[in-house]
Structure 1
Amino acid sequence: MTKSLDDELVRGDVAANERRAGGRPVPPASKPPAPPPPPTPPATGWGLPLAVLITGMFMSVLDLSIVNVAIPSIRKDLGASIESVQWISTAYSLTEGVMVPASAWLGARFGLKRLYVALIVLFTLASLLCAVSTGLSGLIAFRILQAIPGGVLPVTCMTILFRIVPPQKLGAAMGMYGLGIVVAPGIGPTLGGYLVEHTNWRVIFLINVPVGILGAIAAAIWLTKFPAEKSKPFDFVGFGFIAASLFSLLLALEEGDNWGWTDYRTVMLFLGAAVFMALFIVVELHVEHPVLDIRVFKYWPYVNSLLLISAMSIGLFAVLFYVPSFLQDAQGWTPLNTGLTLLPQALAMMLLMPFAGLLYDKIGARWPAVVGLALVGTGILLLSRINVDITRGELILGMVVMATGMALGMMPIMTGGLSVLPPEVSDSGSAFNTLTQRVSSALGLAMMTAMVQDNSAQYIADRATLLETGSNTQLTELQQQGATGLLPLYQEVSGQVQAAAYSSGFFLAGSATLVGVFLALFLRSGKPGGGGDRPVAH
């Protein structure tokens, strides 16, 4: 009876309100109380926790760049081919990317501090196993183990940062955090070159052990404890399908050159990748809590940004992988000199990235992206002139031009793409963004390797034909030189073949990046708007 009377009074009040408003419903005077906001982080006391986060992030990023310089030494020590040894980097990048979607769930399920400490411990253990591995297969397996925490660390660090830093200090904190991310790739090649030249390639993994131990202890002492939350169920089925699809695709690209592109194994892997990806899409469209919300692909500006990020990532990783190999194999440079040659391009990125952020705030993403992509493509095309006699200055010029474009274009492209997404799918957008960078670099590197191998075989065949049809004078000289003279000749021809193959790969990567300039014209221009300035999905 009391409940009925209360309902009548409520309906009477609503009707009275409608009469006063000319028949239009009037919203209630007050809304139900909202849940209490999360506690505001303290204005002080976040400096040491931030330093801990930078250390962990720095270690994971440094490990990827420092290994690239050591690839030739690892290949010689373990007796592996270049197409096999590139899995040391590719497997790490792919696994790291696949782990990104699980990061948010893991943080909520186990608590951010507990997860961070566990990630640092696992990364340290995997680094130790990499250092003591005796074969290429074991090293690749331990790199995959190392990439599991390496993929979760970036998202975990960023989440903790946003919770411990007060809003008014977030810009300064992000500046310090971002600086650590940029410095790691800058000093990685130089540090790796020094360690490989004066010690052994295994030391590049061993240095993570003391840093990881100290980092885990510091995190246990200074990081704020975040309680575990009641988490939504993890989408194991969707996660398994996308992992299987990516693995099948990469394996087909890696082994297709050896097996043949029409071999049944290659065809079945391509077919399996397509089927697993289709199943992933079906599952994500029907499951209540998808591991990744694929509705983000309804927004063309976001998809456009992913395409541009892919083009830049492929070019960047092609240069970072093949230039060190060429300098050490074809020109006989030491690892330290190789690292010093790569250092200027990293310093250019470190100096210009903060400027790119300010530029985006002033004029938007379009023109920084256009100029950036043009410079990246131009720099890679400059590197396509690579030959056995190329000077250090020419290499540095091409890499610095490429790095300048990377610094100017990458951040505006990423920010412009993510800014168009509605808040409810922004987390998935960030995950797909990181996943695109990781997977596109891995897939691009596999495709470049396949193309380089094909070109190398063709160039060797061409030069063998020239040698067979050489003049009598050349043949007489070779006979007089004997076996001792043939070795330098073989090394010279091998270097020329390697340079010609890399030149073709760089030309293709640079040309593809320049095509992206046209796509960049469709990015938004003008000062970015705040809040709800989002385009309608197409």
Structure 2
Amino acid sequence: MNISKKQKSVLIILVIGTFLGFLNQTLMNVALPNIMHEFNIGPGLGQWITNGYMLVNGVMVPLTAFLIQRLTTRRLYLTAVGLFAIGTLIAGFAPNFTVLITGRMIQAMGAGVFGPLMNVIVMNLFAPDKRGGAMGLIGLALNFAPTLGPTLSGFIVTNLSWRFLFFIVAPLIIADFILAYFLLQNIGEQKMLKFDFIGVVLSSIGLGSLLYGFSNAGATPWSEFTVWGFIVIGLIVTALFIWRQFSTKTPLLNMAVLKQREFVIAMLINIVLMIAMYGGALMLPLYMQTIRGASAFISGLVLFPGALVTAFLSPWSGRLYDQYGVKYLTLIGILITAAGTIVLASLTLTTPLWFAVIGQFIRQLGLVLVLMPIQTEAFNALPLALMPDGSAMFTTVRQIAASFGTAALVTIMTRSSLSYGKTHASTLDVLIQLHGIKITFLTAAALMLVGAALTLLFKNKAPRDFI
């Protein structure tokens, strides 16, 4: 892909910031036991290291649609990177758990801006027939970083202190701030929009409640108020937020994006993929560590080849999108992902670990053909004026679907294990748990087939046809 010097420098800056932001979503998972031990806290409080980050990140995203249009590109990105850097340093030197959580929250405030801003800048910089290649490069950050997180974290925590998870990130994000200060230019037009305070309050409460309820569902029964209660509150308040966006003259998020057919189809496929991908990805580490007794680091190594294929093939998938369009590329990718998921559903107590590596590798190979192409297709369907709103909506729905998917598939695993245990009382506990994991992988594969069916609704236009 031939790009100018300006485009190249902007892409480098965006990829670094977005990579570090998404890396931090999964970087702390493996370190949680060490942090809980050092600060003498329980799992309920400890989960806020990850859940709190995801919550603030998710609440920030709808606000970015306003910020992207109201502030200059340079000012917004420097502010976001600055917040992320400050939060990283606070968390790294945290003397207690309260300060650590505060640092993580500040990190998340900055990281919540990266994804939507990145999408808008790329759509403004590149012509439609070049956007796939550009978004493929961005896919290095969006898809490689979360997969790399557990492996990197396992290595660092095993050989160093959990604090190095922040000390290693800090100089990288500071370097990105310096690069952005000298090289990043303003892109797009600044608009003097009126701030919708009520919209911000409603979106924060609604999305925050939904994400909190779903995050609790991973470890708490759905009958508890902290699960169903917050989900119901979230649904009601989010519905009020959507109603307000349609009724006010100055919406925080312009719902006109939902009138674009290709955008809606891409978003629906993305929902299915996020549910299957994030929930399914949780099952393999559970299998490795709970069923097979492997260490967190070995578990991370099993995931690593899949992460590498994501890194190497993301730019390639973008070029394929530019050349052939979204319909058949997405269909093939989803079917490959489903095949890899079925391979993982066949794991047993004695399956060689290389078989699990192959299954995850196939899953990631399929996903890399899907994730960035459908995102690019969604944004290509929008006029540039709606790009900030479309980017914010797409990212918000992605996070809610990932949170719901994790909760839903963990629930399926738990319920199927309990049911199997009642009818096979003499069976070993590990076999009961293994049954639950198998059923969950098969459920994820079935969801993939739903996504494959949705791809048939696409019009098979190559991006050059939009020019």
**Shared fold (TM-score, shorter chain, > 0.5):** yes
1:466 matched to 2:401? The reply is: no
Change (3 A) 1:501 1:200: farther
CA distance in 1, matches of 2:233, 2:128: 46
Query: SS at the partner of 2:211?
Result: helix
Moved more, 423-432 or 145-154: 423-432
Query: SS at the partner of 1:466?
Result: coil
Amino acid at match of 1:194: F
Change (3 A) 1:294 1:314: same
1:199 matched to 2:134? The reply is: no
Cross-structure match for 2:61: 100
1:413 matched to 2:341? The reply is: no
Moved more, 50-59 or 252-261: 252-261
CA distance in 2, matches of 1:384, 1:453: 16
Amino acid at match of 2:112: G
1:523 matched to 2:458? The reply is: yes
Alignment of 1:382-421 (within 5 A): 382-421=343-382
CA distance in 1, matches of 2:6, 2:59: 34
Deviation, 1:284, is 0.4
1:513 matched to 2:448? The reply is: yes
Amino acid at match of 1:396: V
Per-residue displacement from partner, 1:330-389 (whole Å, max 9, x unpaired)? 333233322221111122223333333333333322211211111222222221233433
Cross-structure match for 2:431: 496
Alignment of 1:367-382 (within 5 A): 367-382=328-343
Matched residues, number: 465
Query: SS at the partner of 2:459?
Result: coil
Change (3 A) 1:135 1:383: farther
CA distance in 2, matches of 1:392, 1:440: 30
Aligned 8 A contact 1:379 1:399 in 2: yes
Segments of structure 2 that go 5 or more residues without pairing to the other structure are none
Alignment of 1:16-165 (within 5 A): 44=5, 48=9, 50-71=11-32, 88-132=49-93, 142-159=103-120
**Identity in percent:** 28
Cross-structure match for 2:403: 442
Change (3 A) 1:309 1:94: farther
Aligned 8 A contact 1:318 1:444 in 2: yes
Change (3 A) 1:174 1:269: closer
Cross-structure match for 1:231: 192
Aligned 8 A contact 1:94 1:442 in 2: no
- Indicate the RMSD between aligned Cα atoms, in angstroms: 3.7
Segments of structure 1 that go 5 or more residues without pairing to the other structure are 1-41, 468-492, 533-538
1:274 matched to 2:235? The reply is: yes
CA distance in 2, matches of 1:239, 1:73: 36
CA distance in 2, matches of 1:410, 1:171: 11
Amino acid at match of 1:378: A
Aligned 8 A contact 1:94 1:438 in 2: no
Change (3 A) 1:47 1:107: same
Cross-structure match for 2:282: 321
Cross-structure match for 2:327: 366
Deviation, 1:247, is 2.6
Aligned 8 A contact 2:132 2:321 in 1: no
CA distance in 2, matches of 1:299, 1:107: 21
Deviation, 1:447, is 2.1
1:214 matched to 2:172? The reply is: no
Aligned 8 A contact 1:68 1:321 in 2: no
Amino acid at match of 1:366: K
Amino acid at match of 1:500: H
Query: SS at the partner of 2:27?
Result: helix
Change (3 A) 1:137 1:260: farther
Aligned 8 A contact 1:377 1:510 in 2: yes
CA distance in 2, matches of 1:250, 1:104: 19
Deviation, 1:232, is 0.4
